[in-house]
Structure 1
Amino acid sequence: MPLLPLVGAELEIPLLDGRLVRHANFDGAASAPSLTAVAEQVTAALPWYASVHRGSGYSSQVSTALYERARRDVGQFVGARSDDVTIFVRNTTDAVNLLASAVPGRVLTLDVEHHANLLPWDRSPGGHEIVQARPTVGGTLAALEGVLSARPIALLAITGASNVTGESLPLPAIVELAHRYGCRVFVDGAQLLAHRRLSLEASGVDYVAFSGHKLYAPFGSGALVGRRDWLDVSEPHLAGGGAVRQVTTGSVEWTTAPARHEAGTPNLIGATALATAAAELSALPEDAWREHENRLHRRLAEGVAALPGIDVARVWSDSAAPIGVVTFRLAGTDPALLAAFLAAEHGVSVRDGRFCAHPLLDRLGWGEGAVRASIGVGTTEEDVDRLLAGLTAWVTGDRAGRYELVDGVWIVLDDPRPVPAGLGLDALAAALSPCS
């Protein structure tokens, strides 16, 4: 049984053989569907939508109250300290770029990071240094300490959970190590927070960023939460209305965070959605949440490992149990072709490619890519079994469709599946060759 109801949980999709099956979605690590509660709250808020912070009308006052309550609830979701600041952004990438401009010194990362936690730091005024992760957790921590002890580092930016393997380094050890050398810790929580809880106050982590679209709130909002001193004085993330105290034709006086970095009309609906998802996930009994995911992850990982010719990605030989992500490759098979087959003939959605983590995939020797299956609050045992059945069918050669690589994309030749009705796509059917 799913832990929480999702929009589209009973969506039926067509297969090549003409059957309709319930969609088995294992691509939540990229973008998760909306929680039903999130969609309901958005629907309830829409009639009241108006300007935030700038209107005296009743609906504007309601909208402002909704926005600031969302800020409070999102901060509580990650255990923000009383003097922390919560800034609404578009997504994790946006948050990291914001913080990168505010760090008053050098930034240190590992090579296992998502591009969103690698590329923005190159813009940091103090520079950016990348350390290669070692095969063990202890070796990796020692490599980080070697840099931290050798020269001043302002910020250690680390993934809360790898989007490729689901693994993580022990946060208590990371925080203790960094703080010992006067370095702050930023956690990329994009993957972690859809699977595990994090408290800034309890853990000592200084900053965390996350995206609504991975947290079952796909309405274009994310958040950066953490210590306010750097953010109160750094260059505003965007120049514009709402970020200022006073403007003349020759000067500007900027306000402090969070408004300093939220210029323009805020995404009220996105903030409301994110706060609602945070409340729903916070209300889950932690033991039930962890047991649900661990049980399904174990079922999937063991089933995949039992198939001939399949390797499962791993960064550290001694890491703790990962979150619900299993990434694998099948010898002699293009990951994109396997993903197309699973979708067309088994109604299973997975991710294929290099997952915006090219340095990690290259170091693992998986530069040609892999397949990633991610488990979430809506995943069921039947979903896992259907994915394993699809992989078994591929391995045994039980395939019905004919596939061709066109412009770098695998398509089904003579695909009989119809274009979905009611989405205004009928006129485009001829152009959508995979679905025409």
Structure 2
Amino acid sequence: MTVLTRSDAAAALTERLDRTVAPLLPTVGAGWVVPLVGGRQARSVHLDVAASAPALQRVADHVAAALPAYASVHRGAGYLSQLSTALYERARETVGTSVGARADDVVVFTRNTTDALNLLSSAVPGDVVVLDVEHHANLLPWRSPSRAHGARVVRVASTLVETEALLAAELARSPAALLAVTGASNVTGEVPDLRRLADLAHGHRARLAVDAAQLLPHRGVDLAATGIDYVAFSGHKVYAPYGVGALVGRRDWLDAAEPHLAGGGAVREVTTTSTTWAPSPERHEGGTPAVLGALALAEALRTLAETGLDRVREHEAALRDRLVAGLEGRGIEPLRLWSDAPDAVGVVSFVVPGWRSAQVAAYLSAEHGVGVRDGRFCAHPLLARFGLGRGDGAVRASFGVGSGSADVDRLLSALDQLLAEGPRWTYASDGGSCRPAPDDRPAPDWSGLESLTDPLGSASSPTSPCATLPTGADR
């Protein structure tokens, strides 16, 4: 067995940082040129993949090829309807296979991860134990007033080992039906040991549900191999932004639950006084499904599998190393949850000393064409743990198979200019956001928009993220 020394590891890291990393797969919109303030232009750098990933070109091509065949599914006698039905059900099979579904598992197509976890919340026959660092999609459904059982929130410790011990203690204190955890943090990218968490839950007669919105595009999921009981994810996170997600897992709870959406297709028999519901997945897919979205999701997962998840991991690890080293070299410390996290995906959040995160994000977009996210990322309790509360937040850069080292370098170069000179444009609060003032960037002709102003922005937040921006000597 080869044992790597500290110097070997340092040399390997240096080699990764020096290496040029090209995009792994082609995505729709790659190379698009966007306007900057002052009439300039630049290649768009999309580092907000964790929020919504661009479509893989292969996915878009597959949807375009299937579109002429689109028709109703399951009940149509026409050739197109029967073809669409066959494609839809094959997509269901592909999705199940892609996440290691067991023979008795069921694949329910939903709108997104949030929808999937809300569906599961209605089916869980007992209390749910959850960590305080979850995305709201894996926190709020368990606290719904409509649930007959409660949510028990465990505060994470500084290490995964200690956090697992706290979860074990909570599960031992009082019976619970489900342990619900993130597969990869949407704030820090850190990945817990899901096999150990599955064993932990099962040892206390509970099941494990995983919010895999961030995990699936970067590492994949294998229910059979890990023992995970339920997994929820979104197509728009996995390079298939066509309005479909999925809940995959054990059938019994889902067959016993009330239908997620009562309507046609979810039934076996209806009279004026009674209803006989279908088993899952039909039971929870009332109405006409998003057929093309299901096809897109299946094609995205098939493409990632053929590319190889090991290649995806290596590609993103090189980009993450490059970004983290670049930030730390500039005195910017990325946010971290656990000192012993075994892995992290391509999600890095940080605060630039002396600058509000909303201002940093607006500056990166307006002056450099770099798209990131700022705020609290639908994970308010976690950001509060980092001391970033209401009216504040962090900057999040996230990347995927369509990203390259040139994207990371653009971000770091833009931060260099910010730290050395500050913005070259002026910015002001616009409702809940920070925007260039004036914002002279035109919308594309085909969009039909007169400007980029969000008509709902004024209602999104009562705070003014640019109002107290430090300037000059206050930086």
AA of the residue aligned to 1:417: R
User: Equivalent of 1:38, from 59, 80, 95?
Assistant: 59
CA, structure 1 residues 181+432, in 2 after alignment: closer, same or farther (shift >3 Å)? closer
Deviation at 1:411, TM superposition (A): 1.9
2:420 to 385, 388, 396: 396
Q: Who is 1:333 aligned against?
A: 355
Q: Aligned runs of 1:191-206 on 2, under 5 Å?
A: 191-206=214-229
Deviations 1:292-348 (A, max 9, x none): 11001000011011113x232111111123111110002221111100000011110
4+ residue runs over 4 A deviation? 430-433
1:156-207 CA distance string (max 9 Å, x none): 0000000000012211211111111111000000000110021001111000
Deviations along 1:380-435, one digit per CA (max 9) or x if unpaired, are 1100000000111111125321111232322212333222122222xx249779xx
What secondary structure is seen at the aligned counterpart in 1 of 2:324? helix
Q: What SS is found at the alignment partner of 2:180?
A: strand
Partner residue of 2:472? none
Q: For residue 248 of structure 1, what is the aligned residue in structure 2?
A: 271
> In the alignment, which of 157, 160, 164 is matched to residue 141 of structure 1?
164
Counterpart of 1:183 (choices 206, 220, 229) is: 206
Q: Which amino acid aligns with 1:337?
A: Q
Q: 1:246-325 residue pairs with structure 2 within 5 A?
A: 246-308=269-331, 310-325=332-347
Q: Which residue of structure 2 aligns with residue 61 of structure 1?
A: 82
Q: Which amino acid aligns with 2:23?
A: P
Match of 2:25? 4
Q: Which amino acid aligns with 1:364?
A: F
C-alpha separation in 2, matches of 1:285 and 1:254: 40
Letter in 1 for 2:291: L
Counterpart contact for 1:51–1:60, Cα < 8 Å: yes
> Residues 431 and 385 of structure 1: is their aligned pair in 2 closer, same or farther, counting only changes over 3 Å?
closer
Corresponding position of 2:364: 342
The amino acid that maps onto 2:96 is G
C-alpha distance in 2 between matches for 1:61 and 1:283: 28
Q: Are 1:103 and 1:125, in contact at CA under 8 Å, matched by a contact in 2?
A: no
Q: In 2, are the aligned partners of 1:41 and 1:273 still within 8 Å (CA)?
A: yes
Q: What amino acid is the match of 2:269?
A: Q
Residue in 1 that maps onto 2:128: 107
Superposed displacement of residue 240, structure 1 = 0.6
Name which of structure 1's ranges 345-354 and 363-372 shifts more when overlaid on structure 2. 363-372
Residues of 2 paired with 1:101 and 1:303: CA distance? 45
Q: Secondary structure at the match of 2:407?
A: helix
Q: Distance in 1 between matches of 2:118 and 2:452?
A: 40
Instruction: Give the Cα separation in 2 of the matches to 1:389 and 1:37.
Output: 32
Specify which of 102, 117, 129 is matched with residue 152 of structure 2. Answer: 129
TM-score by length of 2: 0.89
Contact 1:88 1:223 in 2 (8 A): yes
Which ranges in structure 1 are unaligned for 5 or more consecutive residues?
Answer: none
Amino acid at match of 2:364: L
Q: 1:381 aligns with which of 387, 405, 409?
A: 405
Q: Aligned Cα RMSD in Å? A: 1.3
**Aligned twin of 1:26:** 47
Verify: 1:410 aligned to 2:434, yes or no.
Answer: yes
Give the conservation status (yes or no) of the 8 Å contact 1:149–1:181.
yes
Rounded to whole Å, the distance in 1 between the matches of 2:53 and 2:313 is 18
TM-score (norm 1): 0.96
Aligned 8 A contact 2:333 2:350 in 1: yes
Q: Do residues 155 (structure 1) and 165 (structure 2) align? A: no
Structure 1 residues 67 and 380: CA distance shift in structure 2, 3 A: same
In 1, distance between residues paired with 2:86 and 2:453?
45
1:234 counterpart = 2:257: yes
How big is the shift at 1:17? 4.4
CA offsets 1:141-167 (integer angstroms, 9 cap, x no match) = 000000111211110000000000001
Equivalent position SS for 1:326: strand
Shift in CA distance, 263/149, structure 1 to aligned 2, threshold 3 Å: same
> Aligned to 1:210, what secondary structure does the other structure show?
strand
Q: SS of the residue aligned with 1:283?
A: helix
* SS of residue in 1 equivalent to 2:446: coil
Aligned to 1:351: 373
What percentage of residue pairs aligned between the two structures are identical? 56
Q: Give ranges in structure 2 of 5+ residues lacking alignment.
A: 1-21, 456-475
More divergent stretch after superposition (13-22 vs 209-218): 13-22
SS in 2 for 1:311: coil
Equivalences, count: 430
Question: For 1:28-47, what per-residue CA distance to the aligned partner results, in whole angstroms no more than 9, with x for missing partners?
Answer: 10011111011111111111
Do the aligned partners of 1:335 and 1:371 also contact (CA within 8 Å) in 2? yes
**SS at structure 2 position matched to 1:422:** helix
Distance, in Å, in 2 between the alignment partners of 1:98 and 1:286 is 29
Structure 2 SS opposite 1:314: coil
Contact 2:443 2:452 in 1 (8 A): no
Shift of 1:250: 0.4
Residue 75, structure 1, aligned to residue 96, structure 2: yes
